[in-house]
Amino acid sequence: MLPSSGVRVGNVGRNTLRADGIGNVDLGFIKNTRVREGQNIQFRAEMYNATNTRNFGIPEGRVNSPNFLNQWGTDGGNRRVVVALRYVF
């Protein structure tokens, strides 16, 4: 990424350190049940990164960093499940 002045920092070319794309699958299930006219109960289940796929980050490119070229530094997060019950009137 270039600084706001548009001047490149360092002498390494663009796209030297590359990483794979992000491969997340997000799912959501919603079930509406009518209680009375104009009133509903809604059950929601949402899953983020449902397949629990590991997404590696771009390796650290600074030579003086202790994590130099460490692709295990970032993993993109874990699977997350959110369950909710909502009363709509």
Each residue of 12-26: pLDDT tens digit? 677 666 666 677 889
Cα dihedral 56, 57, 62, 64 in deg (nearest 10): -50
| 86 band by pLDDT with thresholds 50, 70 and 90 | very high
pTM of the shown model? 0.56
pLDDT tens-digit readout, 56-80: 766 677 778 777 777 666 666 688 9
DSSP conformational letter for 42? E
Burial profile 42-68: b = 16 or more Cβ within 10 angstroms, e = fewer: eeeeebebeeeeeeeeebbeeeeeeee
pLDDT tens-digit readout, 41-60: 999 999 988 888 777 766 67
